[in-house]
């Protein structure tokens, strides 16, 4: 076991191999083709192939064939085993020596708590997908969620097609505006309980870890803003993404939060991220 851990740590001592694992973790539970990894990290195909091969040899990354494509994902059992080994062996299992490896208890986990969950949805532009998610959870969450959304781009505005979809569905759009993640970062920022990325580009970007160990989820969906064609075809793309997000939000609000510990809640969020995969095609 010790040799296995040593080999894994040695593999992650290379900054680009570490960057690959970080990307795969940010996109989990997605499985990524090599081309996506190459573009996100600006790596040549041959170089990436060597790095992925090394990560697979030490058991940190898994490979799966889908048609003609090879898809990659982190080996979560291996990662948990590695972190657990370091905690128990190097830290002697003492939380006073090493930070806790389990997420902290969140507001709402205690059935007596009346604090709402703080939730942030992130996309690149905060113009459509994250705005849909913010609106849906705010209106479907029964007052149990303090919901926000933001984009990674410094400037953006609400997409008119997205606004029309929300209005047609009877949502109140008067208070919606496009925001950046900078509004929710900094020493005075209030920690979130959940942070979701709803587009792949935002998940691909290196961001500082959010304080408070929030449950994180990647619910990547195609960007309806990029769809070309007639107004009817573009509107249909926005409707499809709205419908997929609504399904996921309904699944989220139906979770038995009082009965789930933090790790079970994380697994449930990951499972919700796999819903409606046909929308991503």
Domain residue ranges of the chain, discontinuous segments joined by +: 2-90, 117-280
Residue the block writes with tokens 């997908």: 129
User: According to the model, what pLDDT value does residue 281 have?
Assistant: 43
pLDDT at residue 99 above 70? Answer: no
CB atoms within 10 A of CB 147: 20
User: According to the model, what pLDDT value does residue 103 have?
Assistant: 46
SS3 93: coil
SS3 58: coil
Confidence of residue 242 (pLDDT cuts 50, 70, 90): very high
pLDDT at residue 238 above 70? Answer: yes
Which residue spans within 51-203 are E strands per DSSP? 61-66, 69-74, 117-123, 145-151, 194-197
What class is the 2-90 domain?
mainly alpha
Length of the chain: 281
What the block records as the tokens of 203 is 């998940």
Any idea which fold 117-280 has?
Rossmann fold (3.40.50)
User: According to the model, what pLDDT value does residue 100 have?
Assistant: 57
- What is the separation of C-alpha 74 from the centre of its chain, rounded to a whole number of angstroms? 14
Tell me the per-residue pLDDT of 64-98, one tens digit each, with 9 for 90 and over. Answer: 998 888 999 999 999 989 988 888 888 877 776 67
């Amino acid at each position: 076991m010790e040799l296995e851990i040593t080999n894994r740590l040695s593999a992650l001592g290379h900054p680009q191999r570490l960057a690959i694992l970080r990307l795969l973790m940010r996109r989990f539970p997605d499985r990524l083709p090599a081309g996506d990894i190459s573009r996100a990290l600006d790596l040549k195909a041959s170089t990436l192939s060597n790095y992925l091969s090394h990560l697979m040899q030490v058991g940190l990354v898994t490979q799966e064939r889908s048609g003609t494509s090879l898809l990659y994902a982190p080996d979560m059992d291996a990662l948990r085993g590695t972190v657990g080994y370091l905690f128990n062996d190097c830290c002697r299992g003492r939380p006073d020596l090493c930070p806790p490896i389990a997420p902290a208890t969140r507001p709402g986990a205690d059935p007596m708590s009346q604090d709402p969950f703080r939730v942030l949805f992130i996309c690149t532009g905060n113009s459509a997908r994250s705005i849909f998610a913010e609106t849906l959870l705010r209106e479907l969450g029964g007052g149990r969620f303090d919901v926000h959304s933001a984009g990674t781009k410094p400037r953006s505005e609400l997409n008119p097609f997205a606004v029309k979809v929300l209005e047609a569905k009877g949502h109140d759009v008067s208070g919606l505006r496009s925001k950046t993640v900078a509004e929710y970062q900094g020493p005075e920022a209030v920690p979130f309980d959940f942070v979701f990325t709803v587009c792949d580009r935002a998940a691909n970007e290196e961001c500082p870890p959010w304080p408070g160990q929030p449950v994180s989820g990647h619910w990547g969906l195609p960007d309806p803003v990029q769809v070309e064609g007639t107004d009817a075809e573009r509107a249909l793309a926005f409707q499809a993404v709205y419908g997929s997000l609504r399904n996921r939000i309904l699944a989220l609000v139906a979770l038995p939060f009082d009965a789930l510990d933090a790790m079970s809640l994380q697994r449930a969020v990951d499972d919700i991220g796999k819903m409606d995969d046909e929308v991503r095609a």
